[in-house]
Amino acid sequence: MHKRLWNSLKLEFTLEPVSPILIKSGGISLNPALPDMQFVRTFAAGGETVFIPGSSLKGVFRSFTEKVLRTAKSDLACEPFPSEEGYCGRKLEREEDTAKIYKNSCRACKIYGNTRLRGRLSFTDIYPNGPTKTETRYGVAISRLSHAVAVGPFDMEVLVSGQFQGALVLENFEVWQLGLIALTLQAINEGILKIGFGKNRGLGQVRMRVQQVIIAQAKKNGVAAGEIWGTGMFVGERERQDYGLRENDRLANLPQPARTADLGVLVQHTYSAEHWPRIEETSIASLGNLLEVRS
């Protein structure tokens, strides 16, 4: 399926800390004034700066998606570790047919991939869009046996303010996959889902604001404005059966896009931040039927 492009979604967002956050660095900065536990940094045009790796955010998204899927039905998400018997990549390690690999992978792996299947969702690294501020916090680890200090004191650098900008891209998606991404964004903004280190210490709450949504869809079959089609709407019956796709895979009655562009074989619709709540609501509401959840 990756050999063709039926649809794609690019969601541009800003991220701001609500509580202090810490994405720990795996290395040590050259700056000796920084704490022992440092916020991850990289070099940009303006010099060394803190940033949020796309992989850190993707891990949070996948973990939450797996919980939601297992809540709906236990077998909708596989075991998370490649060493486990229930892991999709291990179960399909001898399969060569790409259609069967996709069809027999769990719902989580169909979005994020496994060792036999490339994921459909990717994140950019998230860089500051203006000044940021960090501060140093101090802590100790208490022994559960002696109730005395076991480790520490140690210091850690947390981000307390600043705005970051990034994007996620979803290619050749089914509509239920968009619904799960919207549900994850909602959980983050409601404070249910946090990122980084020390989430049980009050760290990690952020706010993600959608700035723009760009959806490109193949001209095949003539997609109507105000609709989002999943891959099942573009392919033929044989391919739908091979990949396990839905025939009526679409969201309708959406707002009209702010802009539309003809890209030759694709039509690109651009939705503004004001349009996103309606898209979010519609895609989340459709999850029950699309995932065959019954009350």
Rounded to whole angstroms, the Cα distance separating 202 from 171 reads 35
Does some domain include residue 1? no
pLDDT digits (tens, 9 = 90+) for 25-69: 866 656 666 777 889 988 877 788 999 999 999 999 999 999 999
Q: What is the pLDDT of residues 142-158, one digit of tens each?
A: 777 776 666 667 788 99
Q: Would you say 105 and 115 are in contact if contact means Cβ atoms under 8 Å apart?
A: no
| 240 vs 184: CA distance, rounded Å | 27
Q: What is the mean pLDDT of residues 159-168?
A: 96
Nearest to 133 by CA among 161, 165, 163, 164: 161
Residue 295 has pLDDT above 50, yes or no: no
pLDDT for 206: 97
Examine the pLDDT at 293 and tell me if it is beyond 60: no
pLDDT tens-digit profile of 72-101? 888 899 988 888 888 999 999 999 999 999
Share the mean pLDDT of the chain.
89
Q: Is residue 2 part of a domain?
A: no
Domain count, the chain: 1
* pLDDT above 50 (res 273): yes
Amino acid (1-letter code) at residue 8: S
Dihedral in degrees, nearest 10, Cα atoms 120, 123, 124, 126: 170
pLDDT at res. 270: 95
3-state secondary structure the chain: CCCCCCEEEEEEEEEEECCCECCECCCCCCCCCCCCECECEEEECCEEEECECHHHHHHHHHHHHHHHHHHHCHHHCCCCCCCCCCCHHHHCCCCCCHHHHHHHCCHHHHHHCECCECCCEEECCEEECCCCEEEEEEEEEECCCCCCEEEEEEEEEEEEECCEEEEEEEECCCHHHHHHHHHHHHHHHCCCCCCCCCHHHCCCCEEEEEEEEEEEEECCCCCCCCCEECHHHCCCHHHHHHHCCCCCCEECCCCCCCEEEECCCEEEEEEECCCHHHHHHHHHHCHHHHCCCCC
High-pLDDT (> 70) share of the chain, %? 91
The domain of 146 spans 7-290
Instruction: List, for residues 164-206, the tens digit of each pLDDT value.
Output: 999 999 999 999 999 999 999 999 999 999 999 989 888 999 9
Residue 159 lies in a domain: yes
- For residue 177, tell me if it sits in a domain: yes
In a domain, residue 295? The reply is: no
CA angle 142/144/146 to nearest 5° reads 85
Is residue 106, in this structure, part of any structural domain at all?
yes
Averaged pLDDT, 229-238: 92
CA 59 to chain centre: 8
Q: Is residue 160 part of a domain?
A: yes
Residue that the structure tokens 């000796």 belong to:
32
Q: Quick check: is 247 in a domain?
A: yes
